[in-house]
Chain A
Amino acid sequence: MELQAIHDTLTAAGVAGLLGCDEPRPSNKKEKDQGRSGLPFLMVDPAGIVPLLTACRDMPLLRFDLLIDLTAADPAADGEDLWVLIQLLSLKHRHRLAIKACLPKSALSMPSATAVYRAADWHERECSEMFGITFEGHPDPRKILLPDDWDGYPLRKDYEFPTEYHGISCE
């Protein structure tokens, strides 16, 4: 199913928090727009992620059984938002859905998706240690890949590389 159709299905079911579709567009030199290629995204409000994912999983037309990936991206060091990106896959209908939620850097907190997909557990742990996003309601919010005492969020664009770690020089 195409993204627009998925969007319409969700809207028709009364799912809140949909902010439209981010479709790829060709470049336009007149307006100095470089365009955007690749993947269409469903833009959503991070606060409503749990009902949205539940609807995606349970609606017979969508049936997104698998949460393939949950990650974040920091598009620009001086930008205001972080993106949380979710990839869903339907085994039955054989279609994918990419979800993008923009989180302001001033309030990096959103509900955890672990109640809907248990696959989100480790992905959210990784995401929160790498970007500093808090997933509310996560059952086990420890760091996963980084040491427990690691400072900073390495995948953020404003991350400064440490010069030493426990007395070991990193330069």
Chain B
Amino acid sequence: MSNSTSDQALKAHEPSYSTEERRTLPSGEEEFFFDVKTSDLEVNMGPQHPATHGVMRVLIRCDGELVTGAQAHLGYLHRCAEKIGENVEWLQYLPYTDRYDYLAAMNNNLGYSMAVEALMPGFEVPRRATMLRTICVELNRIASHLVAYGTYGLDIGAITPFLYAFREREWIQSLFEKICGARLTYSYIRIGGVFNDAPPGWLTEVGHFCDVFEEKWKEYRDLLALNHIFIKRTAHVGVIPKDMAIDFGLTGPMLRGSGVDFDLRRDMPYMAYGEAHEAGAFDVPLGEGEKGELGDCWDRFSVRVQEMMESIKLVRWCLEVIEDGPIIGDVPKVLKVPPGEAYVGIENPRGELGHYVHSDGGKIAVRCRVRGPSFTNLSVIEELMVGTLLADSVAIIGSTDIVVGETDR
């Protein structure tokens, strides 16, 4: 990407320089300076920067430690996922879905599979497949939130919680390895069902994992979320009010962190989530402004931490109700999808993952649009970072929990 730093102005939040050498700081204070000519510093945060969670670039303008302007530059990880979707067969595209939000590959598989299934009228996914899907998706949600938990700790400067989180994530990955042979990019959830039944003893081990994780989860919460320095660093920082969250189209924990009570799994249920909610298998945790203001970084973080527990409850429920049966519907090897268009949005760990697929009846999609939650969630940072300190801006980027693979696709 060519450089566009100086010629294009950063988003307008520029403090006004006037001839009297006086200006107004974002906090509303006035600053005077008579002898010293100062100018703001433009700093490139990224694309190779530890706080950008991958290869994203944020151009920030700073007055000392104070951020006075921010502009996100994306596209360093753009891999043409949508174009590829128009060039490969339906089933062949599935492995590509693993790669946009690589921390929640199961969820991506599910989103795409459901979008294609929506184009096949009358097609019904077998019950056991639905349950296996739910277990895998929820386990992957835990794994993804564990990364969010750990890396947010890293952003704030606590290194150890990251390794603890990865210890449990490792277990989830080896569970996935047992069921589908892959540890990161699963391609396990296929169009029509899942591709492999759970090996003997797998479901018992998942149950065991739930028991152990519940204990560990309390430690994690106490270690980081309730740590005094952590609260000082994240409460009152990066506050997204309710209406701003809605205006920016935020979804997932970002939206719930601002106190908006909406979860696709509960409110527009798909798969077995409606049934699960009726059975009281899960709640939707919301940000409450417990430690600071409603919608601050701590609230978003706390929502993710609590969601892990809800996922555990969901997995437990699935383990109770799962029964034997077929694991994949009748889907031909070379799939010809009936003509039509479908949009399916599901609740990913980061928000609504939407797939718009358009088929003309052939073996290849006409259009395969991916609406990644990270992309929209990220758009809010330009606004949030202005007027904060440099360290806060890192906390804000971390609290959006983006996966750059998904913002750029």
Touch between A and B in complex, CB under 8 Å? yes
Closest chain A CB from B79 CB (angstroms) = 10
Looking at chain B, what size class is its interface with the partner chain?
Answer: 35 or more
Whole-angstrom CA separation of A126 from B82 in the bound complex: 12
For residue B342, which residues in chain A have a CB less than 8 angstroms away from its CB? 37-39
Interface string of A66-81 (1 = CB under 8 A from B): 1111010111100000
* Interface flag for B2 (CB, 8 Å): yes
For residue B199, which residues in chain A have a CB less than 8 angstroms away from its CB? none
Closest chain A CB from B404 CB (angstroms) = 11
Closest chain A CB from B245 CB (angstroms) = 9
| Contact indicator B248/A69 (Cβ below 8 Å) | no
A37 CB contact (under 8 Å) in B75, B340, B375: B340
Whole-angstrom CA separation of A45 from B104 in the bound complex: 38
Interface string of B80-92 (1 = CB under 8 A from A): 1011001000000
Whole-angstrom CA separation of A126 from B379 in the bound complex: 12
| Contact indicator A85/B369 (Cβ below 8 Å) | yes
For residue A55, which residues in chain B have a CB less than 8 angstroms away from its CB? none
A-side binding surface: helix, strand, loop or mixed?
loop
| Contact indicator B2/A119 (Cβ below 8 Å) | no
Given contacts A36-B340, A87-B343, contact A75 B358 (CB under 8 A): yes
| Contact indicator B367/A75 (Cβ below 8 Å) | yes
Instruction: Give the one of A41, A76, A143 with max B CB within 10 A.
Output: A143
* Interface flag for A148 (CB, 8 Å): yes
A155 CB contact (under 8 Å) in B75, B83, B247, B339: B83
For residue B366, which residues in chain A have a CB less than 8 angstroms away from its CB? 73, 75-76
Whole-angstrom CA separation of A155 from B87 in the bound complex: 11
Interface string of A100-116 (1 = CB under 8 A from B): 00000000000000000
Interface string of A1-27 (1 = CB under 8 A from B): 000000000000000000000001011
* Interface flag for A171 (CB, 8 Å): no
For residue A29, which residues in chain B have a CB less than 8 angstroms away from its CB? none
| Contact indicator B371/A68 (Cβ below 8 Å) | yes
For residue B118, which residues in chain A have a CB less than 8 angstroms away from its CB? 37-39
| Contact indicator B249/A119 (Cβ below 8 Å) | yes
Closest chain A CB from B138 CB (angstroms) = 22
For residue B120, which residues in chain A have a CB less than 8 angstroms away from its CB? 37
* Interface flag for A145 (CB, 8 Å): yes
| Contact indicator B341/A41 (Cβ below 8 Å) | yes
Given contacts A73-B367, A147-B2, contact A36 B343 (CB under 8 A): no
CB-based closest 7 A-B pairs: A119-B249, A37-B340, A38-B342, A38-B340, A145-B75, A73-B367, A69-B371
B residues engaging A (CB < 8 A)?
A: 1-2, 4, 8, 11, 74-75, 78, 80, 82-83, 86, 118-121, 246-249, 251, 260, 262, 267-268, 338-343, 345, 352, 354, 356, 358, 360-361, 366-367, 369, 371, 375-376, 378-379, 408-409
17 interchain pairs (CB within 8 A)?
A: A35-B339, A37-B338, A37-B340, A38-B341, A39-B343, A69-B369, A73-B358, A91-B262, A91-B267, A118-B249, A119-B249, A121-B379, A126-B375, A142-B8, A145-B408, A146-B1, A147-B75
